[in-house]
Amino acid sequence: MRLHRYDRVPQVDQVPEPEITGPLDVIVRIGGAGLCRTDLHIVEGQWREKSGVALPYTLGHENAGWVHAVGSAVGNVAVGDPVILHPLITCGLCPACRAGDDVHCTASAFPGINTDGGFAELLKTNARAVVKLAPSLEPASVAALADAGLTAYHAARKAARLLAPGQRVVVIGAGGLGHIGVQVLKALSPAQIIVVDRSAEALKLAADLGADHVVQADGTQVQAVQDLTEGQGAEVVLDFVGEGGAIADGVAMLRRAGSFLVIGYGGVLSVPTIDIISTEINFVGNLVGSYTDLAELMALAAEGKVALHTTTYRLTEFAEALHDLEHGRIRGRAILVP
């Protein structure tokens, strides 16, 4: 499924199969690939300058499947193994990689963003990107955890380190990423979880997943959170929306010395600097997550502590899936299956 022109729906092309050319190469037969709003933004052209990718190219940055072929030096997986792919192909040699912060690798490639991705039958990556799946996990059922789940885990894991028993954490947005974040917080943190969303269905899902309180975003949400926190605000706010009124709401829900974790994007953060220094609040960005984060997330998934709600489409139904995503008709995450 290749993008030929921005603001045009990608189309199915026949392309040559990828080949092993290096000792650490791994070719994966795709079992499922997640579709998310980033793909929508790519099609719209929002990533045109940032990615620098040459068109046409294959989309798809949330990928899982089975090992199809390996290079001569690959020893961590074998042909036939079920795997999920870390979004980045990293070098392993730069300071960030050596520190375990491989999401900031200085020589990385990002399949589906700046090189060919997984909306295809086969995808070429390397040994550093593949995480072997437990026998209980199917590639199509976990594919979106490769990016959406990983991003939510990365942020929720940061939040869990900041939280203690008796404290509160607010999750704004319980959709594709947020419902994963709620589960991770439930697994890793003793804090009370407050979920804010406009959708009654999303709030019901959040409650079913373990949220301690759910708040309807109907204009009274800031006051509702203040009431739940004795007027002090929450120690941590995770904003999975990042646009509209969510940013201002999240800042208003934060207590002194609290941390605002930005995950969703699209809006503008505008806070007077005196408000930041006088209350010592912190703003923290979150970009995907490390290989270690993904391995830990897969452990939670194998234990049944994190489950992904998905809607499945055939790869050739891409246009329908994109339309459903754009109009909010997908519960959880959309998965394309070749």
Q: What tens digit of pLDDT does each residue of 216-235 get?
A: 999 999 999 999 999 999 99
Q: State the amino acid at position 261 in one-letter form.
A: L
Structural domains for the chain: 2-147+289-297+307-337 (3.90.180.10), 149-285 (3.40.50.720)
pLDDT at 331 exceeding the cut of 80: no
Q: What is the dihedral of CA 102, 104, 110, 115, to 10 degrees?
A: -120
- Assess contact for 151 and 179: CB atoms under 8 A: no
The rounded distance, in Å, linking the Cα atoms of 35 and 176 is 10
- Assess contact for 154 and 286: CB atoms under 8 A: yes
Q: For 281-299, what is the mean pLDDT?
A: 95
Beta carbons within 8 Å of 303's beta carbon, 6+ residues apart: none
The rounded distance, in Å, linking the Cα atoms of 245 and 55 is 35
Q: What is the pLDDT of residue 266?
A: 84
Q: What is the dihedral of CA 84, 88, 93, 94, to 10 degrees?
A: -140
Beta carbons within 8 Å of 231's beta carbon, 6+ residues apart: none
Tell me how far the alpha carbon of residue 48 is from its chain's centroid.
20
Any idea which of 141-145, 148-152, 175-179, 293-297 has the lowest mean pLDDT? 175-179
Buried b (16+ CB within 10 A) or exposed e, 37-68: bbbeebbeeebeeeeebeeebbbbbbbbbbbb
The rounded distance, in Å, linking the Cα atoms of 106 and 111 is 15
Q: For 259-272, what is the mean pLDDT?
A: 93
Q: What is the pLDDT of residue 335?
A: 96
pLDDT at 141 exceeding the cut of 80: yes
Q: Residue with structure tokens 């804010």?
A: 196
pTM over 0.85: yes
Query: Which tens digit of pLDDT belongs to each residue from 161-192?
Result: 999 999 999 999 998 899 999 999 999 999 99
Under the banding of pLDDT at 50, 70 and 90, the label for residue 3 is very high
Q: What is the pLDDT of residue 86?
A: 97
Query: Which tens digit of pLDDT belongs to each residue from 29-87?
Result: 999 999 988 899 999 998 888 888 999 999 999 999 999 999 999 999 999 999 999 99
The rounded distance, in Å, linking the Cα atoms of 73 and 50 is 33
The encoded tokens of residue 221 equal 């949400």
Q: What is the pLDDT of residue 308?
A: 86
